[in-house]
Chains A and B, each alone.
Chain A
Amino acid sequence: MRSPEPAVLEARYTWGGDEFLFVEVSESMSLAANFKVMSIASKLSAMELPGMVDVCPANASLLVRFDPDILPPSTLEETVRTIEGDLTHHRDHSLETRIIEVPVWYEDPFTAEVAERFREGFHQEPGGTDIDYAAKVNNLKDAAEFIQRHHEQPWLVSMVGFVAGLPFLFQLVERERQLEVPKYLSPRTDTPKLTVGHGGCFGCIYSVRGAGGYQMFGVAAAPIFDPAQSLVDFKDFMVFFKPGDIVKFKPVTEAEYNDIQADISAGTFRYRQAPVTFDLSKALADAEGYNQELMEALNGV
């Protein structure tokens, strides 16, 4: 990226009680920080250390749960520090992943209905819509321009969590092109399932109905968390997204949204997706140019 990025230096190690090691790779969000988190997490997971319970990569930090009866804290810390040190020496900066097209009905009636119930005292501009507000704070002309910016460039799943299967999304654009929108002033007690939301520099898709504080722009047309595992995309696991996935939003009309609902009911819906190798240095050198290359993988799928 042309704008100066803070260098990702040595991580900070700290304990979350006697069962969690927290590794803060960077205080601020950046693609490089997230990439380092994912690299440490995948190398650590692959070691399958006895006593390692959960390896949870997040946006710019890593949380590891361990059983100290089996894995002494000092051994775990040394292991992670060694992995971190090796990364600095071997600049292995590519990731085997996939790009997925996610259909979204922007400005849908479901999120509009919920937004109407949470205006005064909740929202910065109770008289307007979330998307109009998002356009304004990003100095964009109108909602249409915001939606264009939202779906024309892909996003990286930088973390999965909060609730089951919810992806945090970081758009693969230069920092000055990042969309930033404050969260609601006070969190809502309700958010429709599959709401496409945004808070700070992160997008998300709410996997389940519930509380939430992100601005609401639309609904994703297809499930991302399916405990019944009825669709083919969920054959192996009830959660669809993994950290490192690349998401390309595709705007759909009400009619297209309804067609997708029919496919889901019939059990025939599948996400359009293709395997890609994501190269960090290419992304940092020319984000939007490299995105074109990534998105071409979806052609003909």
Chain B
Amino acid sequence: MAFDIKNPGLATTVQDQGRTGHYNVGIPQSGSMDQYSAELGNALVGNTAREAVLECTYLGPVLTTDKDAVIAVTGAPVEVKINGESRPQWTRLLLRAGDELSFGVIRGGTRYYIAVQGGIDVPEVLGSRSTYSLGAIGGFQGRKLEAGDQVPVGAPVNAGALPAVDTIPDEFRPAFAKEQAVRIVLGLYDHRLTDEGLDNLLNGEWKVTPVADRMGLRYSGPGVKWKEREQPFGAGSDPSNIVDAGYAVGSIQIPGGTQPIILHRDAVSGGGYAMVGTVISADMDLVARAAPGTSTRFVAVTLDEALGARMELAELRRKARAAVGAGS
């Protein structure tokens, strides 16, 4: 079984939970940017959380299927159409052989997900089906989809059993708001900011710029100040430079003190810009949902609070899966 891609959309890629264990040689984790939305799509179609989905960015694909397919579209709000007729999001749908799936205009956020029973069945590379475009590995031939691609769909898991409920209750659907509060743990090189710089970071209003993709999101705002100092050997001349180091996923760097960049799942694994803090793991999906123009405040939390938020998110995911009768 396969999806026939009539029109690929803007940037449609195969993603799953990501690829770890090779960050030490610069291979990023990749995977669905909004893991929560992708996981609930998988839950609706009877998959485990591990199956691969299609991640659509702003403009989704137009595709047909050669056999009946059980699908669900989750993530950013968008009109879902089967043969031109509007169908609900966050709900299990049947795409019959020959039917055409297409999308309207996105109404918020950035990315939505097409989950299909059995998952997208491209070969695993280093333990994952996720696309890493820059390295041309994983996904469909290491790249975003193109017109004419035949994207394979796997055999149903769990003997084709589907959960009892076919829609995600409202209370478990994430918001795609124009304002966000993103929790961060200060650290790494935050001691190199001036007091005023730190104050700007935590109390300023920041806006997501159009320079935002799977590698990272750039924000405009009041800027920050770095302490002047004599730079250490090998660090480069700007006070925002360090001797090239590993970058935590979710870390915030502020080259030249102007625009903070939050590194996301396809980011470079290291470089020479000082990081001042890191988005907590529980808020990485939130950042992935931000569209350009989203007003953002960075809220400092402790490591313990970050771990607490992580447990809360795990509990929310468990409850959401239970609400549709999906296994955990």
Contacts and interface: CB of A to CB of B under 8 A. Distances in A.
A22 B242 CA distance: 14
Contacts of A232: none
B281 A61 contact: no
A14 B279 CA distance: 14
B248 interface: yes
Contacts, number: 183
Nearest to A175: B233
B325 to A, nearest CB: 25
A30 B245 contact: no
A251 interface: no
Contacts of A14: 187-188
B232 interface: yes
B248 A58 contact: no
A41 B24 CA distance: 10
A56 B281 contact: no
A245 B25 CA distance: 13
Contact of A63 (B132, B248, B307): B248
A239 interface: yes
Interface residues of A, number: 57
A208 B310 contact: no
Contacts of A22: 187-188, 245-246, 248
A168 B245 CA distance: 11
B20 interface: yes
B138 to A, nearest CB: 9
Question: Quick one: which of A6, A16, A57, A159 has the most chain B CB within 10 A?
Answer: A16
A27 B243 contact: yes
Contact of B245 (A59, A69, A73, A241): A59
A65 interface: yes
B237 A182 contact: yes
Interface string B244-284: 11111111000000000000000011111001011111000
Contact of A53 (B21, B135, B272): B21
A246 interface: no
Contacts of B125: 227
Given A162-B271, A164-B137, A16 B234 contact: no
Interface in A176-207: 182-183, 199-202, 207
Interface string B216-243: 0000000000000000111111000011
Interface string B152-196: 000000000000000000000000000000001101100000000
Question: Quick one: which of B272, B275, B279 has the most chain A CB within 10 A?
Answer: B272
Interface residues of B, number: 51
Interface in A1-19: 6, 14-19
Question: Quick one: which of A19, A20, A199, A242 has the most chain B CB within 10 A?
Answer: A20
B211 interface: no
A163 interface: yes
B114 interface: no
A242 B142 CA distance: 23
B244 A59 contact: yes
A1 to B, nearest CB: 12
A90 B271 CA distance: 31
B280 A18 contact: yes
Nearest to A5: B233
Contact of B235 (A16, A19, A28, A227): A28
A207 to B, nearest CB: 8
B45 interface: no
A211 to B, nearest CB: 9
Contact of A16 (B132, B250, B272): B250
Contacts of A243: 24
A238 B19 CA distance: 15
A19 B9 CA distance: 33
Contact of A162 (B237, B268, B275, B277): B268
Nearest to B306: A18
B24 A161 contact: yes
A164 B249 contact: no
B21 A227 contact: no
A160 B280 contact: no
A201 B236 CA distance: 9
Contacts of B20: 53-54, 65
B25 A17 contact: no
Given A16-B187, A29-B234, A166 B21 contact: no
Question: Quick one: which of B237, B246, B248, B307 has the most chain A CB within 10 A?
Answer: B246
A174 interface: no
A225 interface: yes
A161 B135 contact: no
Given A15-B278, A73-B303, A227-B136, A65 B23 contact: yes
Given A161-B269, A162-B26, A239-B25, 18 more contacts: A16-B188, A18-B307, A24-B245, A27-B242, A28-B232, A58-B270, A59-B244, A63-B247, A159-B270, A160-B26, A162-B268, A162-B269, A164-B27, A164-B135, A175-B233, A201-B234, A227-B136, A239-B22
Interface of A: 6, 14-20, 22, 24, 26-30, 41, 53-63, 65, 68-69, 73, 159-166, 168, 175, 182-183, 199-202, 207-208, 210, 225, 227, 238-239, 241-243
7 contacts: A19-B248, A22-B248, A29-B232, A55-B24, A63-B246, A161-B24, A161-B270
